[in-house]
Homo-oligomer: A and B are copies of this chain.
Amino acid sequence: MGGTHGNELTGIHLVKQSQKEMLGENYESFSLDYLIANESAIKANQRYIDVDLNRCFKLADLNDSTLTGKESKLAKSINQKFGPKGNSKTDFIIDLHTSTANMQTNIVITRTDLFHLQLASYLKQVLPDVTVTSEAELMEDHHFLESIAPNGVLIEIGPIPQGCIEYACYEKTQSATRACLDFIELFNIDSLPSFTDTLNTQSYYSKIHFPTDDNDDICASVHPSLIGKAYPKLNKGDPIFKRFDGADILYDGEPTILAFINEAAYYDKKIAMCLCNPINFSLISASKNK
């Protein structure tokens, strides 16, 4: 699926090109379907029209008849066609995203059973710059589109501006998508390679907002020393913001790892960056069906 966010063009064009090339023909153990998720948002070149589509797939929201915004209705229709969540006709969803932040090849998983840990480990083995982000801890009933199938992954490549295509980003997204499909084929025909015992992931636990002035306007930028950095460590005393009057603002918290640094999509909520903790998952003790 591409175009879940209407101004992230890479996934849209990859889905269309994959469909043209009949990518599914390369695989014997499953059939492949395609979706351009939010056509209205794509036409408007906006992330979304009313609300973020990729926050609309909680079971409670899908069943809430009072939610009638553009994306809420769209979510219900996608859930009917590819789900329904809890009893899905689709086994696996790959949802393609981009970021203006340097997220490299960010593989977001919302389940940590053995299958998904092996998938993430496989992607780390075969792709050059993978970071695995676990959102499994964040919520029981997830709000992502990919959560309507029992299995899935969100692939997010950056940095790339919104509303732009760059071949390097397109190619990384294509490689990650094909690697996911390769993994599923290998899983289906019982031919998975061996994996390391542990999967290192990053787990979001908080975020930092931009400093604001008396008018609630943003009054500082992310510090230039952090721009373009992929998952840098931040320690107490490190510069974190540069105010528009030129003064540095220093970080005053516990040591952390940063992600989504200066992500354009988060300016509406004045979020400047997210904070991560490394979490290691054992493939030895992972459950086969979480």
Contacts and interface: CB of A to CB of B under 8 A. Distances in A.
B170 A17 contact: no
Interface string A211-247: 0010001110111100100000000000000101100
A139 interface: no
A245 B21 contact: yes
13 contacts: A13-B244, A20-B213, A21-B245, A45-B46, A45-B267, A45-B268, A100-B161, A161-B164, A163-B265, A163-B267, A166-B224, A166-B262, A170-B244
Interface of A: 9, 13-14, 16-17, 20-21, 45-46, 100, 159-168, 170, 213, 217-219, 221-224, 227, 242, 244-245, 262, 264-265, 267-268
A237 B56 CA distance: 48
Contact of A242 (B159, B167, B222): B167
A168 B227 contact: yes
A20 to B, nearest CB: 8
Majority SS at the chain A contact face: loop
A274 to B, nearest CB: 16
Contacts of A268: 45
A78 B137 CA distance: 51
B218 A168 contact: no
